[in-house]
Amino acid sequence: MSKTVLVSGASGFIGSHVAARLVEEGYRVRAMTRNPDGYGGAGEPVRADVSDPGSLTAAFAGVDVAYYLVHSLGSDDFEKRDAEAARNFAAAAAGAEAERIIYLGGLGADDGELSAHLRSRRDVERILQAGPVPVTVLRAAVVIGHGGISWEITRQLAERLPAMVTPQWVNTRTQPIALPDAVRYLTGVLEPEEARGSTYEIGGPEVLRYIDMLQRVAEIQGGHLPNVTVPLLTPRLSSAWLKFVTDVDEETARNLVDSMSNEVVVKDDAITRLLPGELIGYDEAVRLALADRESAGQHDRAGSR
């Protein structure tokens, strides 16, 4: 019999694709959402909220594996909210005697210099691991795919600006991963016994600076993005600048910008031996994301007729 898998954040950027992939692979998917009546994705929708412990009991009934793919990045008290939500989720998984939790966290050296966002990701990891249910952790940097917040910032900056005056963080190194590869890894760790209780770092085949990512997106779209880096743009000014030229709300932008001074690069590639396969390069990941955006736009336009 196939496993019953609960996907929290099933209507979100990563969760929607994970749920769809698991359904394709024959799993019974329970799509956790606060609005099941409006859910149109893969799996059976179930009403639950990680901030409401009482709502989780029914959602977890009979669940074998649970994916934790939610965060509160748009809140000013997101660290507190995320910690409380992780405790609720871990307790519900323990009460249901689930076999495993699979969690997507963030890359970055845990050396006391992590940003609040990445520190919160790591705290959630530890909270989940403190419970009796084994946790498989995947740590990622930027996931390149249509609908991802970090990707949207990159796309919109590259598309809307003729030139950039940028803060120092654009020279920070990161290791972006294509959405299909992230989903392949997230779903691929569900069955292997050796993945139980293990932590993996996931990334694409290239290590890039943020400015490299921006300029390559501009080139792929037929443009050119000159850049001058200055030391005076603080994180608060940077987030206000992002709000001015992108659609991302300022609170989310500020929390993400704070993380952009942390180098997020894979140090341990054990995942490539557990789940071998050719990784999608950055330029191809960008093209896929742009094609998905165009396809979604065409769908929306057709639906409005």
Q: What is the value of pTM for the model shown?
A: 0.90
Give the other-Cβ count within 10 Å of 37's Cβ: 7
Largest CA distance in the chain: 59
Q: Which of the residue ranges 62-76, 137-151, 211-225, 289-303 would you say has the lowest mean pLDDT?
A: 289-303
Dist CA 94 CA 2 (whole Å): 21
User: What confidence score (pLDDT) does residue 245 get?
Assistant: 67
Q: Which residues touch 195 (CB under 8 Å, ≥6 apart)?
A: 136, 189, 274
Q: In this model, does residue 13 exceed pLDDT 80?
A: yes
- Top pLDDT among 91 and 221 is at 91
Q: In this model, does residue 119 exceed pLDDT 80?
A: yes
Q: In this model, does residue 115 exceed pLDDT 50?
A: yes
Which percentage of the chain shows pLDDT scores above 70? 83
pLDDT by residue (tens digit) across 38-74?
Answer: 999 999 999 999 999 999 999 999 999 999 998 866 5
- For the ranges 18-22, 144-148, 239-243, 262-266, the maximum mean pLDDT occurs at 18-22
User: What confidence score (pLDDT) does residue 159 get?
Assistant: 80
Plot region of 197 (φ>0 → left; ψ -120 to 50 → alpha; else → beta): left
Of 91, 290, 64, 101, the C-alpha closest to 198 is 101
Of 99, 86, 3, the C-alpha closest to 50 is 86
